[in-house]
Amino acid sequence: MLILTGAIGTYFYYSNSSTYPKTEANLPVRKMPESEVLLSFLRDIFDKGAALPTEEELARIRYLTVEHSENDQWKFTYSLSDPFSDEQAEKITYITQDKKLNSQRIDQRDFEAFKGLTALDLTNTYEISQTDQTTLAHMPGLKSYGGAFNESFSTFLGYFGDKSKITELTTQLRSNQELAMLLEFPNLNSLSITYVDESVTDFHLLNQLPIKSLSLTFVDELGWLSSMTGLSSLSIQYSETTDLQPLYALTQLQELQLSYLTNVKSIDFVQNMPALQTLDIENVNFSSLERLTGKNSITTLRLASLSELGSVKAINSLPSLRELTLSGYYENAEALKLPKVERVEIPSSFLPGLKAPVTTSLTLRGGSGELNLAALGKFPKLKQLSLWEISEITRLAALDGLSRLETLKIYDSSLFKESDALFRLKQVKSLVCSECRLNFEQKAAAKNSVLEHLTLNQSYFSMNNTSVTEIDQMMPYFANMSALRSFTMQDSNLDSLEFMSNWQAIEELHLENNAISNIETLSQLPNLQKVYLSGNSVQNKSVLGTGVHVY
């Protein structure tokens, strides 16, 4: 199934099919990864400490995507459940913080060790060292594969054993010959094409495959799409096309994503899609949502960076809408009445006119003035609140009136007037404050027996309007957080840990890339299980017992 998201990958093509040296032929299947960064990830998720994971543990991983993010960090998304047989399979994202590990490459053959995989996606990642001697034929359950950077379809075609088991592929197509090779996968129902050479024209061959989900990137000629009438999911990204007339024929579509189609001026074709449930449009230059008016089928709508769009009133006419994301919209903030919508993401300027009484998750972005949180009282079912790039947040105490609110995330925002109130909230259990601007009037926060998870990353601190440049001077403020089970402060030049001495409930500490040398305080914390200390010059790790895993 095609998952529609806002993040759009950019792909490049070079004439050479492999940038890196080949390995020797006839190598045995690798049973244990050799790349240090991959081993570190595995040790952590399986609580191995310094020990290697077992082959049996590796086989438990059923789903794995790997990418090296724009922040130069390795990012692994994995599941211990098979998403093909369990639609509710939990997918967990793990981001490596160790700067040394993040500078390293991963050998493609390392993924041979994951013999239980049903899905492997290398997400076009450049930092994976490729080899044409990779094999995936020993993975009996593998159904889905996505290649590494510029990986030729002709190359990875030979990785598989029984091609009839493969149902999902992500690939480039550089010739009509490669396109014809897709017919070797008779049960292919999901295809993502990340690059197409100008010489490729035989798209009619795709009609011989049972494709239900199709994703196209950098494909300009789309006339052949009109024959793909069995599609239920379609994504078109970075296309120079001026004409989406072929989409009128796709009457069975349930999911549609259009991104960076700057020459497209109309979405009239949605009228011919009676089953359309998910619509995601970004950077498309149409000016009206009129064709969406009253469309009963739509449950999820995302509209982003639509510079020509003059009004969003039509959103109010969607009776089945459950999720709404509206971003990069700078026209007048119109009233939105969303009686059934449970997840909302909007510019903060829309908050006064928003009526969404059953919303459980709310994200507000931007705003040049104050954001008065007393306005959130009209969302009695709110469980999670995220605030991004807010000039000044006020009336934090009003959040105590939201009895179900447990998760609060604040990014790149100022709480200069009411920072102390942030740590007095009565029911928030998880708090993320990243790049926050905080000004405390009290030397220490009040005792807090509710907050269980706290993240403070790259925030600006001041005390009584005087900037605090040494982070250690600020940390005693948090000494009374007696219920904390996890705490994260990375890349902050933190040295002393004495403020943690009363954190008797703490289980997990993420303290990567600080200035910590002495961890004696941690030996006094009875429930501590995991400590992440990479990027520190710790001299006395031995003070922690064998029951504490140090990474």
C-alpha dihedral sign at 127, 133, 137, 143: positive
Which of 373, 378, 437 has its CA nearest to residue 408? 373
Where do we find the tokens 């570190």? 40
Task: Give the strand pairing for 466-467 and 460-463.
Answer: antiparallel
d(CA 541, CA 368): 47
Antiparallel, parallel or unpaired: β 530-532 and 508-510? parallel
Q: What share of the chain is helix, strand, coil (3-state, %, to 5)?
A: 20, 25, 55
Q: How is residue 72 annotated by DSSP?
A: S
Beta-sheet strands, E only, within 428-483? 430-434, 437-440, 453-457, 460-463, 466-467
Please choose, from the candidates 225, 165, 173, 221, the residue with its C-alpha nearest in 3D space to the C-alpha of residue 194.
Answer: 173
Distance of alpha carbon 165 from alpha carbon 150, whole angstroms: 24
Burial category of 61 from C-beta neighbours within 10 Å (exposed 0-12, middle 13-18, buried 19 and up): buried
Query: How many other C-beta atoms are found inside a 10 Å radius of the C-beta of residue 369?
Result: 10
Asked if 58 and 115 touch (Cβ cutoff 8 Å), the reply is: yes
Q: What is the pLDDT of residues 192-242, one digit of tens each?
A: 999 999 999 999 999 999 999 999 999 999 999 999 999 999 999 999 999
Is the distance from CB of 423 to CB of 448 less than 8 angstroms? yes
Structure tokens given for 365 = 């972005």
Residues with Cβ within 8 Å of residue 536, at least 6 apart in sequence: 511, 512, 513, 514, 515, 516, 517
pLDDT digit string, tens, across residues 441-459: 998 888 899 999 999 999 9
Each residue's pLDDT, cut to its tens digit, for the chain (551 residues) gives 333 333 333 333 333 333 333 334 468 999 999 999 999 999 999 999 989 999 999 999 999 999 999 889 999 999 999 999 999 999 999 999 999 999 999 999 999 999 999 999 999 999 999 998 999 999 999 999 999 999 999 999 999 999 999 999 999 999 999 999 999 999 999 999 999 999 999 999 999 999 999 999 999 999 999 999 999 999 999 999 998 999 999 999 999 999 999 999 999 999 999 999 999 999 999 999 999 999 999 999 999 999 999 999 999 999 999 999 999 998 889 999 999 999 999 999 999 999 999 999 999 999 778 999 999 999 999 999 999 999 999 999 999 999 999 999 999 999 999 999 999 999 999 999 999 999 999 988 888 999 999 999 999 999 999 999 899 999 999 999 999 999 999 999 999 999 999 999 999 999 999 999 999 999 999 999 999 999 999 999 999 988 999 99
CA 325 to chain centre: 15
Cα diameter, the chain? 71
Task: Name the β-bridge partners of 327.
Answer: 304
CA distances from 324 to 31, 318, 356, 488 (A): 45, 11, 11, 30
Compute how many other C-beta atoms are within 10 angstroms of the C-beta atom of residue 397: 15
Nearest alpha carbon to residue 342 among 299, 303, 304, 375: 299
Give the C-alpha separation, 43 to 40, whole Å: 5
CA distance 109 to 133: 8
**HSE (side-chain half, CA atoms, 13 Å) at 77:** 13
